[in-house]
Structure formats: C-alpha cells, structure tokens
Homo-oligomer: A and B are copies of this chain.
C-alpha cells in the first residue's frame, strides 16, 4: 500500500449508544444534569480539557487534565516561567517512548498518579464489583471539585472504533443514568453522554496486556495525611 492510499479520516461518527455533548439532546441533558447538581466537577475539568497529542496518550492526557484541574503544582517548570503539568512531564513510571507506542495500563496510570502526589483509589471491575458502588462513586464525585474519576474501558463495548481507552467523567444525569465522557481523542469523537451501565460493562473487559479487567480510579489531592489505596489484587473488588 502506498502512502497516499493509507486510510485517513475526518473524525468518526458517534454510534447510537452515545449522545454528542454538542447536539441539541446533549445540551438538554447537560442543562438538566447541571440543575440537579451533578455538574460541579465539570467546570474545573472542562477548563483543562485537552486533545491527546499521540494516538496512545489517552491515559497521560486524562491524568494531565486531572492534575491541572486539581491544581497540583508540579514543583518544576513546564515552559517559560510556568509550573504546569504536560504529558511530557509524566515519565516517572514508564519511558515516554514506550507509552507512545503502547499506551499505559491501569497499573501504570496508578503509578503515575501516585508519583505525582495524588491520593488514588484504583478499582478493577471484576465479578465482585457492582454497578451500584460505581454509581455511588459517580454521584459523589460529580457533585465535587475535589475528586475526579478516570475510567479505563473498551471502546468496542460502546460500539466505538478502537480498543482500550482512558477518559475522565465530566458529569452525570441521574434521571437518565447517563455519564459525560470527556474523550481526549477529540480528533475522533466529541465529548459524549453514555449509559452508566454500558460504561460499567466496558470496564469489565480483560486487558490483553495485563490479563486483568479494566476499571476506574478515583483521584484527589493528597491530604496532609495521605490515604492512598491501591487495590493490587483485582479479585478483591471494592
């Protein structure tokens, strides 16, 4: 195949499982979710929403969004006089050239979050993990500006093209049980609302890299008495 015949795309069409943030229906959902109080966490995350610079940087860009939304001072300069988080500063656990080729696993995401001083609860979605616990976590975090959720899931289960992916959750619509996914692959899909149970199913998929299910992380600024939880054994559930 010659270079000129390589497939190329201007975005992808969202499957019917997803409702675009920018559509008339998406805006109506946003408005109702905001009036119900489940968009409080949206504002700091939206203020740091970014496009992943590399196809496999979804995990790094998701973590950068959370670090900047939580206003974590990296203690070192990014550019000019500014201390600020950028993907290129997240190299403590895995070399960036490997991340660029392979992306990161839940374990590596957890390692990076801890390295960068976050309080981190990592949950693998296995048979002992139930959707109600996840929903309670979503309801708590979307009413807060102090805790954010990063999810690791299979795009296939959402009927999207591609495979494993990381995103943050930007809001929740209780009446329709919908989550707002702030997808950093903005060249592919706009932000979108998805049914919470479907995203939960998409976290159950076994990651072929680790042979473990995927899942979610609750991320917060570490307090002076850090309460870090790192659930190493996926069969324990939460």
Contact = CB atoms under 8 A, between A and B. Distances in A.
B186 A68 contact: yes
Interface stretch (A77-85, A133-141, A207-215, A227-235): A77-85
Given A26-B43, A49-B46, A186-B47, A8 B145 contact: no
Contacts of A6: 81
Interface in A175-226: 186-188, 190-191
Given A43-B27, A73-B10, A187-B84, A79 B54 contact: yes
Interface string A1-45: 000001111110000000001100011001100110000100110
A107 B68 CA distance: 33
A58 B73 CA distance: 23
Contact of A82 (B9, B21, B26, B191): B9
A102 interface: no
A82 B187 contact: yes
A9 B47 contact: no
B44 A22 contact: yes
Most chain B CB within a 10 A radius of its CB, from A26, A55, A81: A81
Interface in A43-102: 43-44, 46-51, 53-55, 68, 71, 73, 77-84
A98 B82 CA distance: 21
Interface residues of A, number: 43
State how many copies of this chain the complex holds.
Answer: 2
Contacts of A31: 34-35
Contacts of A186: 47-48, 68
Contact of A191 (B47, B68, B79): B47
Nearest to A77: B8
Interface in A123-160: 145
Given A21-B47, A22-B145, 18 more contacts: A6-B81, A8-B82, A8-B83, A9-B82, A10-B73, A10-B84, A21-B43, A22-B44, A26-B43, A27-B43, A31-B34, A31-B35, A34-B34, A46-B49, A48-B186, A50-B50, A78-B187, A82-B188
Interface of A: 6-11, 21-22, 26-27, 30-31, 34-35, 40, 43-44, 46-51, 53-55, 68, 71, 73, 77-84, 145, 186-188, 190-191
